[in-house]
């Protein structure tokens, strides 16, 4: 599967405490977020991916990485994984499905990755809460309207919003997606904006600084 900007942004934007022992990547796909977490931490990391081909690719990427002993791919739905694991996670990351059904995709695998009928956001919030440690955090990248809905539903599902970064492709463009951090315990809420490209269509200094450890062309 193609590696998109969204997962790279989320993995680079997220602040790690250094104390994370277990990290879960929901909807792991080819494993980009899980691999970024392995690069940035010493945690044991589990990826969960329902689509078999994507899970296979992710497992191959894990084995080929410098951290194969800390990365495990589970070819299961989130619900099935939650039913069999006893592990609780200090950090959960996800670039979840983001289109409601209705727009056709070329392949079933692509549809699974993009449509919320395979994993709606409220189910994700509840399952993530059940899988998290008492001080656990949940980091998501979402379309801006979905992020606003997640914030509305968060507390009822066991989460408190801590940080939201609105992402613009360019300064004059509308906000299309957001990076969102939730915690199991309440704290001050921070809100800011990130612009990917400047007026000359080059990557912005902030974007370059954020992602330079993960993009080879910077």
**For residue 27, which of 9, 60, 1, 5 has the smallest C-alpha distance?**
1
Q: Does residue 216 sit within a domain?
A: no
Q: How many domains does the chain have?
A: 1
At 7-18, the pLDDT tens digits run 999 999 999 999
Q: What one-character DSSP code corresponds to residue 25?
A: E
Q: Does residue 171 sit within a domain?
A: no
Compute the distance between CA of residue 164 and CA of residue 1 in angstroms, rounded to an integer.
27
Check whether 23 has a pLDDT greater than 50.
Answer: yes
Q: Does residue 169 sit within a domain?
A: no
Q: Are strands 132-143 and 89-94 parallel, antiparallel or unpaired?
A: parallel
Compute the distance between CA of residue 153 and CA of residue 126 in angstroms, rounded to an integer.
10
Q: Does residue 122 sit within a domain?
A: yes
Compute the distance between CA of residue 190 and CA of residue 43 in angstroms, rounded to an integer.
26
Tokens 């990547």 -> residue: 25
**For residue 99, which of 119, 120, 121, 114 has the smallest C-alpha distance?**
114
Position 112 scores a pLDDT of: 43
Compute the distance between CA of residue 65 and CA of residue 92 in angstroms, rounded to an integer.
20
Higher-pLDDT residue of 172 and 107 is: 172
Q: Does residue 170 sit within a domain?
A: no
Q: pLDDT class for 197, splitting at 50, 70, 90?
A: very high
Q: Tell me how far the alpha carbon of residue 204 is from its chain's centroid.
A: 22
Compute the distance between CA of residue 19 and CA of residue 1 in angstroms, rounded to an integer.
31
At 109-145, the pLDDT tens digits run 444 444 344 578 899 999 999 999 999 999 999 999 9
Determine the average pLDDT of the residues in 42-46.
Answer: 99
Position 25 scores a pLDDT of: 98
Q: Is the pTM of this model over 0.95?
A: no
Domain extent, residue 9, equals 5-164+177-211
Q: Does residue 36 sit within a domain?
A: yes
Neighbour count for residue 66 (Cβ, 10 Å)? 10
Q: Does residue 218 sit within a domain?
A: no
Q: What CATH number does the domain containing 142 carry?
A: 3.40.50.150
Q: Does residue 144 sit within a domain?
A: yes
Position 218 scores a pLDDT of: 66
Long-range CB contacts for residues 141-144, cutoff 8 Å, separation at least 24: 141/6, 141/7, 141/9, 141/10, 141/94, 141/95, 141/177, 141/178, 141/179, 141/180, 142/96, 142/98, 142/177, 142/178, 142/180, 143/98, 143/176, 143/177, 143/178, 144/175, 144/176, 144/177, 144/178
H/E stretch holding 90: strand 89-94
Within 13 Å, how many C-alpha atoms sit on residue 47's CB side? 33
């Amino acid at each position: 599967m193609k590696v998109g900007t969204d997962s790279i942004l989320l993995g680079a934007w997220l602040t790690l405490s250094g104390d994370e022992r277990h990290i879960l990547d929901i909807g792991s796909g080819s494993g980009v977020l899980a691999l970024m977490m392995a690069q940035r931490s010493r945690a044991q990391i589990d990826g969960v991916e329902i689509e078999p081909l994507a899970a296979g690719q992710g497992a191959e990427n894990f084995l080929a990485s410098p951290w194969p002993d800390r990365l495990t791919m589970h070819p299961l739905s989130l619900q099935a994984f939650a039913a069999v694991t006893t592990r609780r996670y200090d950090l959960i990351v996800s670039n979840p499905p983001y289109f409601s059904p209705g727009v056709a995709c070329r392949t079933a695998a692509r549809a699974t990755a993009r449509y919320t009928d395979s994993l709606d956001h409220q189910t994700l919030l509840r399952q993530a809460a059940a899988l998290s440690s008492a001080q656990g955090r949940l980091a998501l990248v979402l379309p801006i309207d979905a992020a606003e809905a997640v914030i509305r539903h968060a507390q009822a599902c066991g989460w408190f919003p801590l940080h939201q970064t609105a992402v613009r492709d360019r300064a004059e463009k509308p906000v299309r997606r957001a990076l969102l951090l939730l915690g199991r315990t309440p704290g001050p809420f921070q809100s800011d904006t990130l612009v990917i490209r400047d007026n000359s269509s080059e990557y912005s200094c902030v974007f370059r600084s954020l992602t330079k450890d993960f993009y080879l062309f910077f």
